[in-house]
Structure 1
Amino acid sequence: MEKTYNKISVTASGVLSPLGSNQVSVREAYKNNRHYLTKDLFNGEELFVGRLQEKDLEIAGEIRNGDPKYASLDPSVIYAILVSRIAVREAGWNEEKDFGINFGSSRGATELFEKYHKEFLEKGYSSTLASPTTTLGNISSWVAHDLQNEGPQISHSITCSTALHSLLNGVAWIRSGMSERFLVGGSEASLTPFTIAQMRSLKIYARDIAADYPCRALDMEKSSNTMVLGEGAAAMCLERGVASNALAVIAGVGYATEILKHNISITSDAVCFQRSMKMALKGIDPREVDVIVMHAPGTIKGDLSELRAIGKVFGDHKPALTSNKWKIGHTFGASGLLSADLAITMIRDQKFVGVPFEEGAGIRGPIRKVMVNAVGFGGNAVSILLEAPEKYLKE
């Protein structure tokens, strides 16, 4: 008999991306075939990026102005506070203070780092708040302060798989019996000149500013790299067992790393993904997986290696494949949970959300299980298997 206490429910989700921060509008945005990337100037050159909507920047501004202590915080911290408030409110945790928090970021306080470093180069000294506002633990500490939380607080950075590593940590704490609830998340505000320059130096950034779809994630015929950088954040509330208000149930988790050949290496058939997906599927027939939300950043090697890994694990069974990076860009440390939110959207609506330029990737019938993948520099892969609660399958 299946042990339900090993399962963990996602009872709420708070998101912030170029699609918005309101779940209803985000779900509606996934129904159309337009991307939400915009052109902007960086170092004198026009490029595509995934910027937040003006109304969401106003909400972030209200949070910043609502407390004098928030005035000096990096946008990545403000975004984390914003999505955490949404998730906690939706989960009904407003009066609950004893839950864990794990919030991470790939790049961290990017805007402040660049600001304070420039100041140092120009003046020869640094501002008083330079260190406390750019330390990595800054994110979870301020989220905990804002929520008046009394549970454990964890921050980390595991490149682009950061948000799903937050979820892994939450699962581990709950399964260990050390916590009944955990708030997990990732936040990224890295649309800065130096960060964009770093991505362009790797030769992976999209160059075609006239393209209908500048990021060609899942297009296995593309002849150039098409990654586009986006900003955003996501937070999810996890609770032990199968909750009546569950948006999805975590049926499996997996993780793996690869032996590095160079700083950004990943094998041609993504051995790390093969291992993480197999771990997440432990005890589950791969044929039960209906959809995979791929990491698929829009690079030639990255997309293809993940597709090959899926072929190795799933064989003749071909789950429907999708990604949201063509729509919102690659949000680095936040991307894994924004992908998980897409998975939850498909589970709630029982409707597959595909990639418009990738034909024949749809699905018929109920969406029962969705796998979500994320990987970062260094070959740190995470796979999460989400299961639809019965209430969505009966509607």
Structure 2
Amino acid sequence: MKNLAVGLHFLESLPAPHESGQWESLDGRPVYRLPTDLPGPRSQALLEAFWSRWGAALAAHRPAAVVMASARGDLEAFLQGYETWKAQKRVAPTFSPDTTLGTLATWVAHRLSCEGPAWTVSQTCVSGLYALQSALLWHQLHPTEKVLFGAVETPLVPFFVEAMAALRIYSARTAPPFSLPGSGQNTLALGEAVTLGLIGPLPAPFILTHLVTGTAPPQPGHAYTAVAQAPLERLLRQLGEAPPDFILLHAPGTRQGDKTEWEAVQAVWGPLPALSIKGEVGHSLGAAPLVALRWATYLLEGGPWPPQPYEPFWPAEPPARRQEAVVVALGFGGVMGALRIRRV
């Protein structure tokens, strides 16, 4: 989707830029957890925490449709239900709806009193961008309406952390991503997040001008998680020839993948100010692209460029100009996505 002129009217996230959750150890591995202890399934608890802060402002926009995203769904609720079944041979009546991806969208729709369509999409760590893409497609059919998009991810359970560690990309210590400069180690660490936004007709504080997605073919002899540079370059070129003022990289702390991603960016636009927020808030899988988009809007508004105590191989100095930004997302199986946004 190129040469768009769609307004971004609202976007907030937990974690919000420069608001701290906490890094903690989960069976000896680092995870980033949000400071909420609300009861119920974790996804709903995060949505409740979000709603307590921004629900009224969001509802005032009266969106006509809702699109949510999650790569894994509520893993904690699913595994807790499974353990209960193993021990007691019974399942709570709320288990199935609580762990069905589609109910993430309907929960939000109910809170908004929205009777229009509500659906959830799932496509690896690019899920959030696919939700936004779906919202844009729906908006094209209903150009006078506003559409809510968002993502929620709650992957902080020992089983899934070890599943990621089995790929040999997880941080082997309790240190967060990028905190071991010069070590040559992978330092990916998971986090949880929820993000909700709203698109619609102009005027708006920000304009979405491009959103593109694609899939790279598998590379013989490479892992299923590997990034293919040439297809990523072709994807980024669809965002325009002129370089953005800065870029929010996917870069979750994987030694080879981060390097390949940055080489693709340089091949298209040359070196430019870049940032990965994974060292701040961890990798929240399907929600990560929208958390990065929230950081992009924050920085476009003049928010302070975060210090980078590690030693990235991309230019870490803040940009001289902050008018346009690009956000990149990558996922298992060669799934790719990127968007371009401009401050009005």
Q: What's the TM-score once normalised by structure 2's chain length? A: 0.89
The question of whether the paired residues in 2 share the 8 Å contact of 1:13 and 1:90 is answered with no
Secondary structure (helix, strand or coil) at the match of 2:210 reads strand
Residue type at the aligned position of 1:162:
S
> What is the aligned counterpart of 1:79 among 40, 46, 49?
46
The question of whether the paired residues in 2 share the 8 Å contact of 1:273 and 1:306 is answered with yes
Give aligned pairs, total: 339
The question of whether the paired residues in 2 share the 8 Å contact of 1:290 and 1:368 is answered with yes
Q: What's the TM-score once normalised by structure 1's chain length? A: 0.78
> What is the aligned counterpart of 2:276 among 323, 331, 338?
323
Distance 1:204 1:88 in 2: 36
Secondary structure (helix, strand or coil) at the match of 1:237 reads strand
The question of whether the paired residues in 2 share the 8 Å contact of 1:258 and 1:266 is answered with no
> What is the aligned counterpart of 2:14 among 2, 10, 16?
16
Corresponding residue for residue 337 of structure 2: 382
Cα deviation digits, residues 316-356 of structure 1 (max 9, x gap): x3221101100111111111111001101110116543533
Cα displacement (A) at 1:293: 0.2
Structure 2 residue 241 is matched with structure 1 residue 285: yes
The question of whether the paired residues in 2 share the 8 Å contact of 1:188 and 1:333 is answered with yes
> What is the aligned counterpart of 1:141 among 94, 106, 116?
106
Structure 2 residue 255 is matched with structure 1 residue 300: yes
> What is the aligned counterpart of 1:225 among 183, 186, 189?
186
The question of whether the paired residues in 1 share the 8 Å contact of 2:143 and 2:201 is answered with no
Corresponding residue for residue 72 of structure 2: 107
Corresponding residue for residue 217 of structure 2: 259
Cα displacement (A) at 1:307: 0.8
Structure 2 residue 29 is matched with structure 1 residue 47: yes
Corresponding residue for residue 170 of structure 1: 135
Corresponding residue for residue 67 of structure 1: none
Corresponding residue for residue 161 of structure 1: 126
Cα deviation digits, residues 106-161 of structure 1 (max 9, x gap): 11011111011112222344333222211110100111112211221110111111
Q: Percent identity?
A: 25
Secondary structure (helix, strand or coil) at the match of 1:164 reads helix
The question of whether the paired residues in 2 share the 8 Å contact of 1:222 and 1:300 is answered with no
Q: CA RMSD in A?
A: 2.6
Distance 1:77 1:260 in 2: 36
Secondary structure (helix, strand or coil) at the match of 1:172 reads helix
Distance 1:378 1:87 in 2: 35
The question of whether the paired residues in 1 share the 8 Å contact of 2:7 and 2:199 is answered with yes
Runs (5+) with no aligned partner, structure 1: 30-34, 65-70, 390-395
Structure 2 residue 154 is matched with structure 1 residue 199: no
Cα displacement (A) at 1:192: 0.8
Distance 2:187 2:113 in 1: 42
Distance 1:165 1:85 in 2: 26
The question of whether the paired residues in 1 share the 8 Å contact of 2:210 and 2:339 is answered with yes
Corresponding residue for residue 242 of structure 1: 203
- Higher mean C-alpha deviation, range 298-307 or range 80-89: 80-89
Cα displacement (A) at 1:95: 6.5
Residue type at the aligned position of 1:52:
L
Secondary structure (helix, strand or coil) at the match of 1:378 reads helix
Residue type at the aligned position of 2:211:
V
Cα deviation digits, residues 197-216 of structure 1 (max 9, x gap): 1111111111123x5xx311
The question of whether the paired residues in 2 share the 8 Å contact of 1:218 and 1:322 is answered with no
Runs (5+) with no aligned partner, structure 2: none
Cα displacement (A) at 1:250: 0.7
Residue type at the aligned position of 1:229:
L
Residues 83 and 249 from structure 1, CA distance in 2 versus in 1: closer, same or farther, beyond 3 angstroms? farther
